[in-house]
Amino acid sequence: MPNQDEHAKQGFSSCAHPHTRSIASQPSCETLLLRSSVARFKPCHSKHSFSSCARTKLRFVNPRSGFTLIELMVVIVIIAILASLILLNISGVDQRKAMQAREFFILDLKKINKESVDQSRIFALLTHNATDVAPFSYELAEYHDLRTQTVIQEDKKWQPYSEFPVRVLPERVAFNIESVDQNYQNATQQDLINQQAPKLIWFGNGEVKPVRIQFYFEQNPVGDPIEVDHLGNINENQ
């Protein structure tokens, strides 16, 4: 059965050659054009004609459609603002972790001072700098008098105190211990006050080597310096 396109072609030929058919049976040229347009834009109802119909419709897509320069700039600005907010949020969380680690450290200092006096033990705070595989950490060591031994090994004087587990600070958080000048006229054990001795020592008699401790996050100071005087009192200035 001839389709509508073939009928349209026959109609166009009849319209081009008016003497081939009678005027009564000949449709008008306007009617033929309308039928041709309807046939060409007939909706696709069958699966077989879907692809061809889709190709036909794609021809009428506006070639100027797409993002304008202003729209692209607006999107870029929005993305930049969101990225900044995310970075600020992450930085704020890390800053709070650093402050929390500082507070826990102050509690440790108070606990160590009390235990040193109660048990007459000599303690020292040892620090371990951050590496590629481990963050900054600190631990407590106990002093063992080795003067009675014939051969004294420096690394055996300070032994890790098992009752105090190693404390690991959050990533990119560290602290620095700075010694404060102090005169030890009555000191009998020079290995506790010489340059090789740890900077922060509790002598077990209520005295402490005074120090100043500053916490850092990404090498930026966190809070005020923590000062420990010769009696073990802590001034955190905050």
Residue 63 lies in a domain: no
Local structure of residue 197 (DSSP, 8 states): S
pLDDT of residue 135: 95
Residue 135 lies in a domain: yes
What residue has token string 């102090």?
Answer: 182
CA atoms 204, 206, 209, 212: torsion sign: positive
Report how far residue 9's alpha carbon sits from residue 36's, in angstroms, rounded to the nearest whole number. Answer: 9
Burial label, 121 (beta-carbon count in 10 A; 0-12, 13-18, 19+): middle
Question: Do both 44 and 117 map to the same domain?
Answer: no
Report how far residue 227's alpha carbon sits from residue 119's, in angstroms, rounded to the nearest whole number. Answer: 24
Q: How many domains does the chain have?
A: 2
Residue 65 lies in a domain: no
DSSP for 12-76, written as a single string? HHHHH-TTSS-TTTPPPHHHHHHHHHHHHTPPP-SSTTHHHHHHHHHTTS-TT-S--HHHHHHHH
Write out the residue range of the structural domain in which residue 42 sits: 4-17+25-58
pLDDT of residue 27: 52
CA atoms 199, 152, 159, 171: torsion sign: positive
Question: Do both 107 and 160 map to the same domain?
Answer: yes
pLDDT of residue 65: 59
What string of pLDDT tens digits covers the 238 residues of the chain?
Answer: 444 455 444 544 444 444 444 444 455 555 544 455 544 545 555 545 545 554 554 444 455 556 788 888 888 888 888 887 777 666 666 788 999 999 999 999 999 999 999 999 999 999 999 999 999 999 999 998 766 554 455 567 899 999 999 999 999 999 999 998 776 655 567 778 888 889 999 999 999 999 999 999 988 999 999 999 999 999 987 5
pLDDT of residue 105: 97
Report how far residue 224's alpha carbon sits from residue 213's, in angstroms, rounded to the nearest whole number. Answer: 9
What residue type is 199 in one-letter code? Answer: K
Question: Do both 48 and 158 map to the same domain?
Answer: no
Local structure of residue 208 (DSSP, 8 states): B
Question: Do both 45 and 138 map to the same domain?
Answer: no
